[in-house]
Structure 1
Amino acid sequence: MAVTGRFDHSNADLSRVPAQISRDNNGTTLDVTVVLPCYNEQAHVLAEIERITAALDTSGLRYEVLAIDDASTDGTLQLLREATGRCPHLRVLAFHRNGGSGTARRIGTLQARGGIVVWTDADMTYPNERIPEFVRLLLSQPQVDQVVGARTSEQGSHKFLRVPAKWLIRKIAERLAGTRIPDLNSGLRAFRRDVSLPYLRLLPPGFSCVTTITMAFLHNQHDVQYVPIDYARRSGTSKFHFVRDAYRYILQVLRMVMYFNPLKVLMPPSLWLLAVGTAKIGYDLVAHPVRIATNTVLLLCAGLIIGAVALLADLIVRSRIDWPTGNR
């Protein structure tokens, strides 16, 4: 099956889709787990939890909200623990040191009791009242393994820098993945937990974890569907650092492509160097008969070395047997 990233405007009535049952080791039956990383979110974390639980309470889905306090230095953890008495579906996991949102999402997914896992943020930016819609889309379409909220606007800080940088990174990812990606690093997504498990060890600790899970699913032939969503201005202080996190995004995109399809990264420069080196040989023989310049030899050697590494990396990738093939 070809990789298909779809931008869906489905008008189907998803409220009648029967719940998909998942059972954990303790016998608890749940449909969905919402993983909610929290770091210094005391001003709005309870409002976010109330918004999520209100939407899921009316959906008829069996659910839990797994709030992960990432060693907050304010009163976030205390508020979360106090809220467990009022919210029976809330579970709190506290980190002793800050591990980053990627670490929180990875551990939260491993600890999830639901067959479907939802990632979102606690900063009031994403329309979390639409979480049941994302879950119903997965339940109604067995061939889809991940549903991503594709933002229709950019409300973050450094907007004049973020927009062109994110566009460039997304275009690089689309080129390497071979499919359209409306939103590469959206923080609101739902996916099948069992499909995601082999990829969790690839997640970096920071923000680029959402990019990683997208690229991992696409490169391993899992169907990813995109749903347009609104994106609000963040409540509180942003933890995003433009230069550092943009650099990490680019590295993570290249790393994921190298992990699943290294030929796409390494073979083009190899062939380009070989082509330039071959043309340079012809020039050298005309300009300086019976003598090939040193830089020509270096171009050819570099092309051959990179090509050999590309073929070796591809051989290693093809010999791996630890990746699932999806639902198809």
Structure 2
Amino acid sequence: MANRYDVSLVIPTYNEALNIAELIRRVSGSFAGSGASLELIVVDDNSPDGTAQKAEELKSQYPGMKVIVRTAERGLATAVVRGWEQAEGSYLAVIDADLQHPPDIIRRLHSAAQSQGADMAVASRKVEGGGTSDWEFHRVVISNVANIIAKCLLPWSLRDIKDTTTGCFLFKRENVELAKLSPTGFKIFLEVLVRGKFSNPVEVGYVFNQRSLGQSKMTLKQDIEFIIHLLKLGAVTGEVILPLASVALFALIAARFL
């Protein structure tokens, strides 16, 4: 498929009717005057709150916007891949629909990739300018534990990345064979990083905000899927030591009860 846009942004959604219009307005606005063209792709898992219908109503305001509704599949990571498969941009990107990622971060990632000649740009809470906004203590612990676990289980693949659990990033489409992606659960970044071919990823600092509307979807089930995903990727790279994976799962579960 020809590259008609500079950036194709996939927004995976489930029950985000309260946030989708504001997110799209602000993301699109951040690209105004930048000289870069943006393709918007919403992939909705048949939300009962009418997210897909809300997105469809927005298409008249944003020419070229696509809305994909999945009725058989579920899961954030696979939704993102489905969107990328329909994308027509030179760079592929993803952002959460809940406004916890600042909407202008996609433009900033694209600018960083362009100015630094990077094949991947990662929204990071772990570099200068990054952080979290008023997170509860247990959530900070869970995030930090997950980051440490990922680095312990995939030390070589993640050697250049400080924020391994980010959900917002951008990369050159030519560096990844989308057909080879087989993600599990919520974390698509690790799948792309390990299975793609990247020589110079860069991290761009951002502050992760509290969700103001809607409900969080992170559960213990997602923690387990995260470890399973790491094991799958470790089988690809040969990095994972199985006993460490057992300890990692225990640590992540324990962190939820602090």
What TM-score do you get using the length of structure 2 for normalisation? Answer: 0.82
1:32 aligns with 2:7: yes
CA contact (8 A) 2:14 2:45 kept: yes
Shift in Å, 1:89: 4.0
Whole-Å Cα distance in 2 between the matches of residues 150 and 173 of structure 1? 20
Runs of 4+ in 1 over 4 A off after TM superposition: 266-269
* Distance 1:245-1:265 versus aligned 2 partners, 3 A rule: same
Whole-Å Cα distance in 2 between the matches of residues 75 and 167 of structure 1? 34
Aligned-residue RMSD, C-alpha: 2.5
CA contact (8 A) 2:112 2:204 kept: no
Shift in Å, 1:86: 1.7
What TM-score do you get using the length of structure 1 for normalisation? Answer: 0.65
Whole-Å Cα distance in 2 between the matches of residues 193 and 83 of structure 1? 26
Shift in Å, 1:174: 5.4
- Count residues with an aligned counterpart: 237
Larger radius of gyration: 1
Quick one: which of 120, 141, 151 aligns to 1:146? 120
- Three-state SS of the structure 1 residue aligned to 2:162 is coil
Whole-Å Cα distance in 1 between the matches of residues 104 and 140 of structure 2? 29
In structure 1, the partner of 2:167 is 187
CA contact (8 A) 2:154 2:234 kept: no
In structure 2, the partner of 1:236 is 214
Shift in Å, 1:178: 6.2
* Distance 1:85-1:137 versus aligned 2 partners, 3 A rule: same
Task: Please give the per-residue CA displacement for 1:228-271, whole angstroms capped at 9, x wherever unaligned.
Answer: 11100123111111x222222222223212202x2x436999xx
Q: Which runs of 5+ in 1 are unaligned?
A: 1-23, 270-328
In structure 1, the partner of 2:251 is none
In structure 1, the partner of 2:149 is 169
Shift in Å, 1:69: 1.3
CA contact (8 A) 1:174 1:181 kept: no
Shift in Å, 1:192: 0.7
- Three-state SS of the structure 2 residue aligned to 1:265 is coil
Shift in Å, 1:62: 1.5
Shift in Å, 1:172: 1.1
Whole-Å Cα distance in 2 between the matches of residues 157 and 88 of structure 1? 42
1:227 aligns with 2:199: no
Quick one: which of 62, 84, 88 aligns to 2:63? 88
- Three-state SS of the structure 2 residue aligned to 1:244 is helix
- Three-state SS of the structure 2 residue aligned to 1:80 is helix
Whole-Å Cα distance in 2 between the matches of residues 157 and 64 of structure 1? 37
CA contact (8 A) 1:35 1:66 kept: yes
CA contact (8 A) 2:119 2:175 kept: yes
- Three-state SS of the structure 1 residue aligned to 2:67 is strand
Q: Which runs of 5+ in 2 are unaligned?
A: 126-130, 245-258
- Give 1:81's aligned amino acid: E
In structure 1, the partner of 2:128 is none
- Three-state SS of the structure 1 residue aligned to 2:83 is helix
Higher helix share: 1
* Distance 1:238-1:110 versus aligned 2 partners, 3 A rule: same
- Three-state SS of the structure 1 residue aligned to 2:105 is helix
* Distance 1:38-1:156 versus aligned 2 partners, 3 A rule: farther
CA contact (8 A) 2:102 2:206 kept: yes
Task: Please give the per-residue CA displacement for 1:185-235, whole angstroms capped at 9, x wherever unaligned.
Answer: 21110001121225x533324202222223334xx5532211111100123
CA contact (8 A) 2:15 2:47 kept: yes
* Distance 1:176-1:39 versus aligned 2 partners, 3 A rule: same
* Distance 1:171-1:233 versus aligned 2 partners, 3 A rule: same
Task: Please give the per-residue CA displacement for 1:259-302, whole angstroms capped at 9, x wherever unaligned.
Answer: 02x2x436999xxxxxxxxxxxxxxxxxxxxxxxxxxxxxxxxx
In structure 2, the partner of 1:250 is 227
Whole-Å Cα distance in 2 between the matches of residues 71 and 268 of structure 1? 39
